[in-house]
């Protein structure tokens, strides 16, 4: 356990599944991996699994070769036991490190996705059509394509959000100068230069992994220091659902695991299209895909630090797009958290995506519905939680500010109760004292709890007038936190990075 790490919030987990149901799902997943097995498009994965006893059949798909692999249950079981139950995710500021323990429901929230659109918010004064004496200040929204500068701005804003515990790049960088070759180095640099919390992202191109790691080693102080304090980590969605191992992503898994840095083995099937829509079928399939991915990591390098990355979603039945703000999303994800806990592996989960296109009542409902529910599940690492709208297609910084307030209240709500012999004794003393006073009010005795942070504040963006000015107040707060000094890398360190890493714009 590191000396310093972010507090997160410890919760008493809500458990949806019984032990018998967990066992059913576990056995069904093992059955799937044995028959029908998985379809693999990566040769080195095939060879590795075959060398450890998997049955392999070569097939043709057009001009391509695909290997159908039956993975024996014993191989999966052995690998699960080798996955570390504790993972430290480092940070530029050591106090911002995260300590993930599979058996401790300490919940952290962070950003996620890689939206193409930055949703800018402006306020405009408007006059009533039927009453020109009535004026209103209303938010209007403008869509901008993601750029490196906007990703850096997102990191600076999120650095100031006290309830954001880690940062997964929420925006895809699409500057004219950005190519497949220099996408990764610019993406990671924009994040690391503006954020002292943990940074995580997927890789666009395996060829630049070495440069990304070199950049992180310069910032961490060396190779050994980076492994001790891994300020960056990676996400690999190695399965294309249903049950197909992706060639390029599998190569990235090999490379990241061999580099000794933390990795999320993520799967994101869609109930109703790429997975069964019923909970039993969805959880069985996603669990099978994640177990196969975890097995691969432990065959590459025993004890490799990995997270159980479950991102199950449901499809709409009218257009087959993702549907996030629905009960099934919570059901799928909560059950996956329990499966991860059953395997003693820290869980990367999801919450806070809105199907709404702009901030408002719909977005608030959808986000709170999952923020609260998934925090109650005890998932250690909840991504997607800040700023995402339009089914992960847009990142809105004002929405991230609103989400920060909401998540803060969720964290407060789920705190472990402070009830013990001492607290009861003190409560009885106060009751006796107040009842023997002339005013019989407890107000002055609330100060101690307020100073200890045990009393929540009113909603930060409240308005007591007859108009909803929530977005206006959130925008004003965002402007205030953006005016604070940024915690950039030191200039000489930036110079060393630019000297060593090609392709930075």
pLDDT digits (tens, 9 = 90+) for 287-339: 999 999 999 999 999 999 999 999 999 999 999 999 998 999 999 999 999 99
Q: For the chain, first and last CA: distance in Å?
A: 38
375 has pLDDT over 90: yes
Residue 382 has φ and ψ, to the nearest 5°, of: -105, 110
Give the rounded percent of residues in the chain with a pLDDT score beyond 90. Answer: 94
Mean pLDDT, residues 1-22 = 94
438 has pLDDT over 80: yes
pLDDT digits (tens, 9 = 90+) for 346-370: 999 999 998 999 999 999 999 999 9
77 has pLDDT over 80: yes
Answer whether 425's CB lies under 8 Å from 505's CB. no
Tokens standing for 451? 């100073």
pLDDT range class, residue 377, cuts 50, 70, 90 = very high
Answer whether 477's CB lies under 8 Å from 461's CB. yes
pTM recorded for the entire structure: 0.96
Of 353, 384, 310, nearest in space to 112 by CA: 384
3-state SS assignment for residue 422? helix
Of 228, 219, 225, 197, nearest in space to 96 by CA: 197
pLDDT digits (tens, 9 = 90+) for 120-130: 999 999 998 88
Distance CA 155, CA 142 (A): 20
What is 440-460 written as a DSSP string? Answer: ---GGGGHHHHHTT-SPPPPT
H helix or E strand, kind and range, residue 473: helix 470-482
**pLDDT for the residue numbered 386:** 98
Mean pLDDT, residues 131-136 = 87
Mean of all residue pLDDT scores within the chain: 96
Distance CA 257, CA 254 (A): 5
Distance CA 132, CA 237 (A): 55
Partners of residue 271 on adjacent β-strands = 275, 314
Distance CA 183, CA 30 (A): 38
Distance CA 295, CA 298 (A): 5
**pLDDT for the residue numbered 134:** 86
Buried b (16+ CB within 10 A) or exposed e, 56-91: eeeeeeeeeebbbbbbbeebbeebbeebbeebbbbb
């Amino acid at each position: 356990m590191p000396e310093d790490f972010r507090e997160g919030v410890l919760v008493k987990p809500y458990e949806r599944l019984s032990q018998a149901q967990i066992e059913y799902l576990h056995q069904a997943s093992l059955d799937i991996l044995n028959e029908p097995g998985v379809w693999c498009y990566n040769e080195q994965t095939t060879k590795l699994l075959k060398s450890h006893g998997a049955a392999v059949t070569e097939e043709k798909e057009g001009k391509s070769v695909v290997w159908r692999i039956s993975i024996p249950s014993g191989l999966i079981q052995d690998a699960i036991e080798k996955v570390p139950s504790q993972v430290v995710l480092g940070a530029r500021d050591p106090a911002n490190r995260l300590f993930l323990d599979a058996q401790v429901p300490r919940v952290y929230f962070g950003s996620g996705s890689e939206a193409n659109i930055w949703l800018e918010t402006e306020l405009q004064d408007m006059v009533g059509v039927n009453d020109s004496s009535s004026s209103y200040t209303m938010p209007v929204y403008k869509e901008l394509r993601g750029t490196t500068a906007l990703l850096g701005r997102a990191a600076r804003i999120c650095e100031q959000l006290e309830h954001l515990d880690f940062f997964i790049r929420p925006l895809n960088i699409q500057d004219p100068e950005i190519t497949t070759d220099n996408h990764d180095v610019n993406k990671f640099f924009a994040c690391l230069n503006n954020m002292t919390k943990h940074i995580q992202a997927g890789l666009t191109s395996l060829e630049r992994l070495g440069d990304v790691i070199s950049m992180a080693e310069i910032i961490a102080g060396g190779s050994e220091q980076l492994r001790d304090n891994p300020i960056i980590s990676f996400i690999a969605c190695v399965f294309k659902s249903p049950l197909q191992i992706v060639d390029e992503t599998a190569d990235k898994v090999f490379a990241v695991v061999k580099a000794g840095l933390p990795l999320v083995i993520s799967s994101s099937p869609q109930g109703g299209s790429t997975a069964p829509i019923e909970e039993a079928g969805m959880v069985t399939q996603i669990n099978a895909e994640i177990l196969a991915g975890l097995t691969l990591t432990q065959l590459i390098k025993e004890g490799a630090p990995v997270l159980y990355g479950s991102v199950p979603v449901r499809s709409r039945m009218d257009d087959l797009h993702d549907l996030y703000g629905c009960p099934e999303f919570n059901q799928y994800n909560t059950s996956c958290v329990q499966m991860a806990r059953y395997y003693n592996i820290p869980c990367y989960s999801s919450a806070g995506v809105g199907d709404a296109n702009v901030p408002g009542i719909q977005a608030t409902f959808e986000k709170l519905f999952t923020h609260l529910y998934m925090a109650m599940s005890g998932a250690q690492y909840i991504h997607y939680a800040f700023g995402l709208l339009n089914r992960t297609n847009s990142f809105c910084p004002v929405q991230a500010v609103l989400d920060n307030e909401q998540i803060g209240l969720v964290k407060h709500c789920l705190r472990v109760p402070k009830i013990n012999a001492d607290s009861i004794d003190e409560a009885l003393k106060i009751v006796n004292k107040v009842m023997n006073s002339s005013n019989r009010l407890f107000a002055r005795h609330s100060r101690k709890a307020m100073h200890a942070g045990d009393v929540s504040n009113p909603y930060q963006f409240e308005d007591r007038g007859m108009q909803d000015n929530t977005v206006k107040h959130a925008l004003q707060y965002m402007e205030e936190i953006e005016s604070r000094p940024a915690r950039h890398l030191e200039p000489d360190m930036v110079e060393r990075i630019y000297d060593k890493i090609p392709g930075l714009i």
